[in-house]
Amino acid sequence: MKEISALKEEVEEWQTLRQTITDTLELAQLEDESIFSDLDRETLKIEAEVSKREFEAKLSGPYDRGDALLAIHAGAGGTDSQDWAEMLQRMYLRWTEHKGYKTDILDLTFGEEAGIKSVTISIEGRYAYGYLRSEKGVHRLVRLSPFDAAHRRHTSFAMVEILPQVEEDSRIEINADDLRIDVFRSSGAGGQNVQKNATAIRITHFPTGIVVSCQNERSQLQNKQNAMKVLRSRLLEKKQQEQEEKIAELRGEYQKAEWGSQIRSYVLHPYQMVKDHRTAFEKGNTQAVLDGDLDDFIEAYLRSQVGAN
């Protein structure tokens, strides 16, 4: 039903675009100079909509149209990296807000002094995974540290993971005997938000060693359902990764991805610049990017991938 609803919505949008084009053509045939400015505005809107749909048509991966799971992990660097991870969380939440996507924080671990150690966010909306898969990798921040008494320049790293949300997939089989499910109290930043009951869930998958946890819901059942959702997504990603590595090894081009190879740098000092190292696309307005202005970076990367394939 969810897939039918999404397809119906997409068909209706194409029909609306077709009707808009028809109406605009009919207006143009009137040859009335008083409506020329209106025609210009309508034409620009149509061009923008067609360009957007042309791009979305290229997102043809099996999970591109669906929902995504976004996970952020602070790297080495202590408080600075944990603060950077929280800055990234804010950036992506702002981006999803601009897109009109629905978000739900499934798991969140706070840093000791500031920031976060890790967060897992469910993102629901059309093409959420298709767009966000461009963000997977290491993100690097260069700035004057607010946590350094000498106010020296620090470099911080955070890892961003993007997984497709899969409710059911015939390729993913989870045997209940392969799981260990632990229940514990949710940890929080303190105050009234600290859970007094044991509602947080941690699931360990023995065959792969994958461990997932969810603790942000007040219901143990909801946390378990969310944890299983994350586990399915991680198992699917692992299966895809193994297949890609096998193909790359046969081609003689396999190179393991490590923390050292960042995909994007955000420089706040000594100059202002955000640069994507895969496409060389860059922007000088760092504040706008950190406020969620990511579309140009995302499209530059995805267009480069379409061209490469």
Handedness of CA 131, 136, 141, 145 (dihedral sign): positive
Residue 256 lies in a domain: no
Domain assignment present for 62: no
In a shared domain, residues 116 and 238: no
Residues 282 and 149 in one domain: yes
**Angle between helix 295-308 and helix 36-57 axes, rounded to 10 deg:** 60
Alpha helices, H only, the chain: 2-28, 36-57, 78-99, 128-132, 220-251, 286-290, 295-308
Give the position of tokens 């999404």.
6
The CATH number of the domain holding residue 158 is 3.30.70.1660
Does the residue 224 lie in any domain?
yes
Whether residue 147 sits in one domain with residue 90: yes
Does a structural domain hold residue 92?
A: yes
Q: In this structure, are 95 and 207 located in the same domain?
A: no
**Pair 144, 278 in one domain:** yes
Residue 187 maps to a domain: yes
- Is there a single domain that holds both residue 239 and residue 191? yes
Answer with the one of 230, 251, 272 that is the final residue of a domain.
Answer: 251
Considering the domain architecture, whether residues 191 and 243 belong to the same structural domain is answered as yes
Whole-prediction pTM: 0.81
- Tell whether 132 and 247 lie within a shared domain: no
160 and 275 part of one domain: yes
Say whether both 8 and 50 belong to one domain.
yes
Each residue's pLDDT, cut to its tens digit, for the chain (309 residues) gives: 877 887 888 899 889 999 999 988 888 888 777 778 888 888 999 998 888 888 777 787 888 988 999 999 999 778 999 999 999 999 999 999 999 999 999 999 999 889 999 999 999 998 999 999 999 999 999 999 998 888 889 999 999 999 998 876 656 888 999 999 999 887 665 444 444 568 899 999 999 999 999 988 888 899 999 999 999 999 988 888 887 777 776 666 544 444 567 999 999 999 999 999 999 999 999 999 999 999 999 999 988 887 555
133 within some domain: yes
Q: Quick check: is 170 in a domain? A: no
Q: What span, in angstroms and rounded, lies between the C-alpha atoms of 70 and 228?
A: 15
37, 156: one domain: no
Q: Determine the structural domain holding residue 10 and report its residue range.
A: 2-57
The candidate with the shortest Cα–Cα distance to 161, out of 221, 103, 237, is 237
Say how many domains are in the chain: 3
pLDDT of residue 6: 75
- The predicted-structure confidence for 131-156, as pLDDT tens digits, reads as follows 999 999 999 999 999 988 888 899 99
